[in-house]
Amino acid sequence: MGIQSTVVFTDLHGSTAAFGALGNAQATVVITQILDQIAALVQSHQGQLVKKLGDGVMAVFGQPSKALDFAVQVQRVHSRHLQSFESLVSLPIKIGIAFGDTEFTAGDYYGDAVNVAARLCDLAGPNQIWASRASVDVQTMKRGVSFRAVGNIAIRGRAGNCEVLQVEWKEDDQSDFLTMQAQILVGAMSGKDVLGKQVELSYGEKHVTFRSFELPAHIGRVKSAEFVVADPRVSRMHARLIWRNGGVLVEDLSTYGTWVRFADDLSGEILLRREECVLHGSGELGLGASFGDSSAPVVLFSVS
């Protein structure tokens, strides 16, 4: 018989770069210290450490609220650790949370919640927590954190899509700034975009790519907007692309709203009215009119 459990996966982003920068011995020490700290937090939040996964852990909690408290505490403790970290290598954490039926066999857990949590951890960006809607109950929504809609995401091997929320865990802008500084050190060493993400917008023959450090960028009707869409239904400054917590968000600034539809869920759409939504993968932005209007100005997006 299945057990109702909340499953959490954590993953250290950039561990390969750490071994290259620090050498095997020092990198192993650093990663082991971080994983031991995460394991201690599992225990203090009344969870069960199922296993360590090289550069991450799998844990199970009886209550969704305990899992959320654990995930938020992991990010906050690790963020403070990064602020005092003298090494040039930063290892931001990604976390996925899911609630549902599990089976416990031979010391390990299996089932839908395990598959969903693992997938959300893979999809989340550095410093992000992605949680299935089923894992966010009334109690977890009172924990002093906010949530942002990511959308419905297709999970490999799963019949239906999963509604996903991003947990906004940062306590203030200062910690956000300091964490970003740690990431910049790693990026400078790797020679890549220091924040590791970019978003491409397409409208007709116009194609523009914005790298993370070039955000915010505005979509609007006026020439001063970074991405111009000349349609009367588009507001002067209709929407804004933002970089926050390791991901790209779209914020509606318009009179009539912005619609978001993801490529892996073309049957569903999110209407934003002075609200924000995390963008992932690829999809479409409907400006000033829904996708049901065949003449609506639609901007294609791709986050990579």
Polymer length in residues for the chain: 304
Place of tokens 């009539």: 256
CB-based contact 152:268 (threshold 8 Å): yes
Whole-number pLDDT of residue 190: 35
Per the model's pLDDT, the better-predicted residue between 241 and 86 turns out to be 241
Helix or strand or coil: residue 249?
strand
Per the model's pLDDT, the better-predicted residue between 89 and 74 turns out to be 74
How far, rounded to the nearest angstrom, does the alpha carbon of residue 222 sit from its chain's CA centroid?
A: 31
Whole-number pLDDT of residue 191: 35
Q: Which two tokens stand for residue 130?
A: 């992605």
Of the chain, the percentage scoring pLDDT greater than 70 comes to 84
CB-based contact 152:120 (threshold 8 Å): no
Whole-number pLDDT of residue 144: 67
Among the ranges given (61-75, 82-96, 102-116), the one the predictor scored with the smallest mean pLDDT: 82-96
Whole-number pLDDT of residue 141: 61
> Which neighbouring-strand residues pair with 6?
61, 99
Q: What CA–CA distances, in Å, run from 304 to 62, 212, 279?
A: 35, 10, 10
With cut-offs at 50, 70 and 90, classify the pLDDT of residue 24.
confident
**What is 253-289 written as a DSSP string?**
-SSS-EEEEEGGGTT--EEESS-EEEE-SEEEEEESS
Per the model's pLDDT, the better-predicted residue between 153 and 280 turns out to be 280
> Which neighbouring-strand residues pair with 179?
none
Q: What is the C-alpha to C-alpha distance for residues 77 and 94, in angstroms, rounded to an integer?
A: 14
Residues of the chain with CATH 2.60.200.20: 198-303
Whole-number pLDDT of residue 149: 75
Q: What CA–CA distances, in Å, run from 43 to 40, 51, 67, 124?
A: 5, 13, 11, 24
CB atoms within 10 A of CB 192: 11
Whole-number pLDDT of residue 265: 65
pLDDT digit string, tens, across residues 67-80: 999 999 999 988 88
How far, rounded to the nearest angstrom, does the alpha carbon of residue 122 sit from its chain's CA centroid?
A: 9
Q: What is the mean pLDDT of the chain?
A: 82
Q: What is the C-alpha to C-alpha distance for residues 245 and 120, in angstroms, rounded to an integer?
A: 15
CB-based contact 94:11 (threshold 8 Å): yes
In the Cβ-directed half-sphere of 130, how many Cα atoms lie within 13 Å? Answer: 29
Neighbour-count burial of 20, counting CB atoms closer than 10 A to its CB (0-12 exposed, 13-18 middle, 19+ buried) = middle
Residues of the chain with CATH 3.30.70.1230: 3-190
Q: What is the C-alpha to C-alpha distance for residues 274 and 302, in angstroms, rounded to an integer?
A: 22
Whole-number pLDDT of residue 228: 95
Of the chain, the percentage scoring pLDDT greater than 90 comes to 39
Among the ranges given (35-39, 86-90, 224-228, 285-289), the one the predictor scored with the smallest mean pLDDT: 86-90
Average pLDDT rounded to a whole number, residues 266-281: 80
> Which residue in 235, 209, 199 sits closest to 220, CA to CA?
235
Q: Which of 24-33, 57-66, 130-139 has the highest mean pLDDT?
A: 57-66
Among the ranges given (2-6, 218-222, 228-232, 284-288), the one the predictor scored with the smallest mean pLDDT: 2-6
Domain 198-303 has CATH 2.60.200.20: yes
> Which residue in 189, 5, 176 sits closest to 90, CA to CA?
189
pLDDT digit string, tens, across residues 156-213: 667 777 888 888 887 654 334 333 333 333 333 333 343 457 899 999 999 999 988 7
Q: In what order do the strands lie in the sheet with 239-244?
A: 227-228, 217-220, 239-244, 247-252, 276-279
Q: What is the C-alpha to C-alpha distance for residues 303 and 284, in angstroms, rounded to an integer?
A: 11
pLDDT digit string, tens, across residues 228-262: 999 999 999 999 998 876 778 899 999 888 999 88
pTM over 0.85: no
CATH T-level topology, domain 3-190: Alpha-Beta Plaits (3.30.70)
Helix or strand or coil: residue 17?
helix
